[in-house]
């Protein structure tokens, strides 16, 4: 409109002069001869008019451009905050976590003669940590190769996190964002040759007791060994050698007479050396099994996919002809768990989720995904992106909307996720220990609340300890692991130079597709059939 007005004014001015010339050229000439000074004044006036008209046009055009730029900036910011918005919550867009860990080197706990042997102290057995690694690595060769790395060009070094797609009112809530993965060959080549350093802690063993006794009202379960408050507090004092409760307390071989029992033939398979494993679980027939996609032939040949199920889920899968005698469903090798330790199926699911290092004592790296998720990116590329490239040993995405444990607790109570009194007790307990609401003052920590459905980790003593202590909190308090995560993380980080890589939730949604639980899917199908 501004440009149009300027154009009309210019055409009107020159149009009047043209009409005068056509109606009386002689009169105009006489006027020029007799009133030359006036003619020159008129020309000057016209020049000034033309100049100011152009000036006004340019100014208005600049104003228009500024308005357009401001509108585009507002649209970008709106789209950015829409990216992680769901159920009325907004992501505050805190910066991505700073990475802390150093590069890999020879770790003393994989060298011969460094493992603790099983022993008994006052009737309580001490179970050594894995591993068979010392027989797979030659110590002298490791020392000779220390520090040598293959130089690879990083195709993602110039990757810039792009703006989110334009807002779509039909699809509110969190969405995936672009993630730069290196080609598969480079991802495999970037796998560390040797274990990462485990700060301070080098030898980790576990308590085992045939008949653990409860000594306190809130001591967890028999499967967890009923650790006392003193034992709990002592377990957060990081030392070079430690013995902690870590589930499976009724035996030194997890899965044999410990609760969460597994067939010996399956256990022997779990105990084999593996560079990388992928694991998931479905308990209480709670989810539909989902097949991974975009998995390379390299991963299909070298990375086993294990799905833990209970007997209820096994019965359903056999009756529906999903599970045969070979225990293989697509890429998933089915591991049936008997004598589950808890009556709550979701709590049973926390055992493999948090204690994979005990079920797979000779695995180097693992990717855990909840049963409701479908993996759609190759495991090697995920590990390279979220562990190896960041020099991290434990990675988990932060919650899409909530950064504060108190807000997470309130949301759990509002949604009926757990008994409200138990949630209140847990939060009050943590408050007495110093838990405070999340603020930017905690940076570079970016969140106190994870979206715990995916965990990516390297199995070294410090990450194994973290997993044990996190499980112990879930066993002692509520099964809502988001509530206890930051307490364990911060207590460990206060003792040693170790941090968790908490990446964006939209990055997680790039490599897994989230689905509904079975009960909701069946409800949706029932409603659809009722309408037809």
Residue 384 vs residues 8, 187, 198, 392, 504: alpha-carbon distances, Å: 63, 6, 19, 10, 16
Strands 261-262 and 241-244: unpaired
Q: Are 197 and 495 in contact (CB under 8 A)?
A: no
Cα-flanking dihedrals φ and ψ of residue 312, to 5°? -65, -45
Q: What is the dihedral of CA 346, 410, 483, 376, to 10 degrees?
A: 60
Characterize the bridge pairing of strands 274-282 and 363-369: parallel
Rounded Cα distance, 96 and 161, in Å: 11
CA 199, CA 103: separation in Å to the nearest integer? 12
CA distances 454 to 165, 348, 407, 509, Å, are 25, 17, 21, 10
In contact, 139 and 111? CB cutoff 8 Å:
yes
Q: What is the CB-side half-sphere exposure of residue 301 using CA atoms within 13 A? A: 3
How many residues are given for the chain? 532
Query: Measured between alpha carbons, how far is 348 from 260 in angstroms, rounded to an integer?
Result: 8
Partners of residue 309 on adjacent β-strands: 282, 336
CA dist 378 and 511 (Å) reads: 8
DSSP state of 135: G
288 three-class SS: coil
Cα separation, 70 vs 238, whole angstroms = 53
Q: What string of DSSP letters covers 350-408?
A: HHHHH-HHHHSTTEEEEEEE-TTEEE-S-HHHHHHHHTGGGT-SEEEEEPSS---HHHH
The strand pair at 394-398 and 373-375 is best described as unpaired
DSSP three-state, residue 81: helix
The residue written with tokens 């997680």 in the block is 508
Query: What residue ranges define each of the domains in the chain, with the CATH number in brackets?
Result: 261-521 (3.90.550)
Name which of 491, 401, 510 is nearest 161 in CA terms. 510
pLDDT tens, N- to C-terminus, the chain (532 residues): 444 333 333 333 333 333 343 344 333 333 333 434 444 444 444 554 555 554 454 455 554 566 555 555 554 444 433 333 333 333 333 333 332 223 223 334 444 333 444 555 556 778 876 554 433 443 333 333 333 344 567 889 888 876 655 555 555 568 899 999 999 999 999 999 999 999 999 999 999 999 999 988 888 999 999 999 999 999 999 999 999 999 999 999 999 999 999 999 999 999 999 999 999 999 999 899 999 999 999 999 999 999 999 999 999 999 999 999 999 999 999 999 999 999 999 999 999 999 999 999 999 999 999 999 999 999 999 999 999 999 999 999 999 999 999 999 999 999 999 999 999 999 999 999 999 999 999 999 999 999 999 999 999 999 999 999 999 999 999 999 999 999 999 999 999 999 999 999 999 999 999 986 555 555 455 555 666 6
Token pair 């990083």: residue: 154
Residues 6+ apart with CB under 8 A from 428: none
């Amino acid at each position: 409109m501004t440009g149009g007005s300027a154009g009309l004014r210019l055409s009107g001015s020159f149009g009047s002069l043209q009409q005068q010339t056509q109606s009386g050229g002689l009169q105009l000439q006489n006027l020029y001869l007799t009133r030359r000074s006036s003619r020159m004044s008129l020309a000057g006036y016209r020049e000034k008019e033309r100049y100011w008209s152009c000036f006004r046009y340019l100014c208005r055009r600049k104003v228009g451009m500024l308005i357009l730029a401001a509108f585009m900036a507002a649209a970008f910011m709106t789209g950015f905050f829409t990216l992680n918005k769901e159920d009325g919550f907004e992501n505050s867009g805190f910066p991505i976590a700073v990475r802390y860990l150093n590069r890999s080197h020879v770790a003393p706990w994989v060298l011969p003669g460094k493992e603790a042997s099983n022993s008994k102290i006052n009737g309580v057995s001490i179970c050594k940590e894995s591993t068979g690694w010392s027989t797979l690595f030659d110590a002298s060769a490791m020392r000779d190769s220390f520090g040598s790395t293959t130089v690879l060009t990083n195709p993602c070094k110039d990757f810039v996190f792009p703006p989110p797609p334009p807002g779509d009112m039909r699809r509110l809530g969190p969405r995936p964002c672009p993630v730069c993965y290196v080609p598969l060959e480079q991802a495999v080549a970037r796998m560390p040759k040797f274990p990462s350093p485990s700060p301070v802690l080098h030898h980790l063993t576990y308590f085992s007791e045939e008949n653990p006794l409860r000594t306190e009202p809130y001591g967890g379960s028999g499967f967890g060994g009923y650790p006392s408050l003193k034992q709990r507090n002592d377990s957060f004092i990081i030392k070079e050698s430690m013995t902690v409760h870590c589930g499976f307390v009724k035996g030194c071989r997890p899965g044999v007479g410990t609760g969460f029992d597994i067939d010996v033939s399956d256990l022997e398979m779990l105990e084999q050396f593996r560079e990388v494993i992928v694991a998931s679980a479905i308990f209480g027939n709670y989810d539909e099994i989902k097949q991974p996609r975009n998995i390379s032939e390299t991963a299909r040949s070298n990375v086993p996919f294990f799905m833990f199920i209970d007997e209820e889920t096994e019965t359903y899968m056999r009756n529906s002809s999903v599970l045969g005698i070979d225990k293989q469903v697509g890429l998933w090798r089915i591991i049936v768990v008997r004598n589950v330790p808890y009556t709550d199926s979701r709590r049973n699911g926390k055992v493999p989720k948090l204690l994979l290092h005990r079920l797979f004592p000779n695995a180097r790296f693992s990717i855990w995904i909840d049963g409701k998720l479908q993996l759609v990116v190759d495991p090697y590329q995920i590990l390279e992106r979220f562990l190896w490239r960041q020099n991290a040993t434990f990675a988990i995405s932060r919650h899409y909307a909530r950064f504060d444990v108190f807000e997470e607790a309130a949301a759990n109570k509002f949604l009926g996720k757990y008994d409200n009194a138990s949630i209140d007790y847990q939060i009050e307990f943590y408050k007495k220990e110093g838990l405070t609401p999340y603020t930017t003052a905690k940076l570079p920590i970016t969140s106190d609340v994870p979206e715990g459905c995916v965990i990516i980790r390297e199995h070294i003593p410090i990450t194994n300890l973290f997993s044990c202590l996190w499980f112990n909190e879930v066993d002692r308090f509520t099964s809502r692991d988001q509530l206890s995560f930051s307490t364990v993380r911060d207590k460990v980080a206060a003792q040693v130079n170790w941090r968790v890589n908490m990446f964006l939730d939209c990055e997680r949604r790039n490599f897994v597709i989230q689905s509904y639980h079975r009960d909701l899917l069946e409800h949706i199908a029932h409603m659809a059939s009722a309408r037809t």
